[in-house]
Amino acid sequence: MSKPKIGIFGLTSCAGDQLMILNCEDQLIDLANAVDIRDWEMAKTNNDEECELDIALVEGSVAQVRDIENLKKIRKRSKILVAIGTCAVWGGIPAMKNDVPRDIMLKEVYGDKVEFIESKAAQPLSSFVKVDYNLPGCPIEKDQFLQMMASFLNGDMPEILNFSVCSECKMKENICQIVYKQEVCCGPLTVAGCGARCPSHNVPCSGCHGPIEEVHYDAEAKMFQRKGIKPEEIIRKMQVYAAPAWMPEKLMEELQHESK
């Protein structure tokens, strides 16, 4: 069997997920031997920007007009398109302030004289193209990435985790940030895979892997409200990664209704 042809791309992002691939130092040679990396601007020269690809790994959210065209072009030349990282899967941090109009935000960040950025509200890849597999994480986890690649190499689709960080946190016998510290922890909302990294360092989960399929925002928010934490604080924490754009407004409504 010939080696699968791979392309690795970044849209609007910090490049952290691509860096994480390069960080797989112990396995990088095995990986490079198993696949044929044709197009990876960040890591190599002599890229073939037109060839057909078996697998495209795409990092970043669609937050500029040019991202849409780039993404569509990648989709067209790829058999399997994988969203890597929470920005690509959910919109991630760039989507956190989608409620602020772009022109105001551009002015605040870059001042008056910016012409080179055509910024737009950040969205995940799936808003524009068919995504075959989602690998969330901010950044992605090495083990999960390698596992995913191994599945593809075996002609299989990787398993999709659909349970929350709490189970991994309990297996590590961490103290519960919610029960013991009354902290706003996004663990119950957030898909597992990180091995409960933050709670294992006694820090509440910020939700960087994005939500599980059947996420229970209102139950979590009401739970914190019962513990005396202000709804605004709950929403602020949950909004960073773990919540889609509609969440804050709907949640606020519910919480206000609840407290009446």
The strand pair at 119-123 and 62-64 is best described as antiparallel
Rounded to the nearest whole angstrom, what is the least distance from the CB of residue 113 to another protein in the complex? 48
Q: Which is nearer to another protein, 110 or 163 (CB)?
A: 163
Distance of CA 241 to the CA centre of its chain: 8
From 93-101, 114-122, 220-228, 232-240, give the range in contact with another protein by CB under 8 A.
220-228
Question: Coil, strand, or helix at residue 143?
Answer: helix
Candidate list 25, 103, 173, 257; residue touching another protein; CB under 8 A: 173
Could you tell me which residues come within 8 angstroms of residue 111 by beta carbon, excluding any fewer than 6 positions away? none
Closest to 61 (Cα-Cα) out of 87, 89, 82, 95:
87
Candidate list 154, 201, 246, 259; residue touching another protein; CB under 8 A: 154
82 close to 17: Cβ distance less than 8 angstroms = no
**Binders of another protein in range 113-152 (CB under 8 A):** 146-147, 149-151
Tell me the number of residues near another protein by CB under 8 A.
42
199 near another protein (CB under 8 A): no
Rounded to the nearest whole angstrom, what is the least distance from the CB of residue 31 to another protein in the complex? 6
Distances (CA, A) of 249 to 111, 243, 254, 255: 29, 11, 9, 10
37 DSSP β-pair partners:
6
**Binders of another protein in range 221-260 (CB under 8 A):** 222-223, 226
Report residue 81: phi and psi, to 5°. Answer: -115, 125
Could you tell me the end-to-end alpha-carbon distance of the chain, in angstroms, rounded to an integer? 65
70 near another protein (CB under 8 A): no
80 near another protein (CB under 8 A): no
81 close to 229: Cβ distance less than 8 angstroms = no
15 near another protein (CB under 8 A): no
Closest to 91 (Cα-Cα) out of 252, 249, 253, 246:
246
179 near another protein (CB under 8 A): yes
Distances (CA, A) of 97 to 23, 37, 87, 244: 30, 35, 13, 11
216 near another protein (CB under 8 A): yes
Candidate list 17, 59, 141, 220; residue touching another protein; CB under 8 A: 220
183 near another protein (CB under 8 A): no
Q: Which is nearer to another protein, 6 or 71 (CB)?
A: 6
Residue ranges that bind another protein, judged by CB under 8 A: 27, 30-31, 34, 146-147, 149-151, 153-154, 156, 159, 162-164, 166-167, 169-171, 173-176, 178-180, 185, 187-189, 202, 212-214, 216, 219-220, 222-223, 226
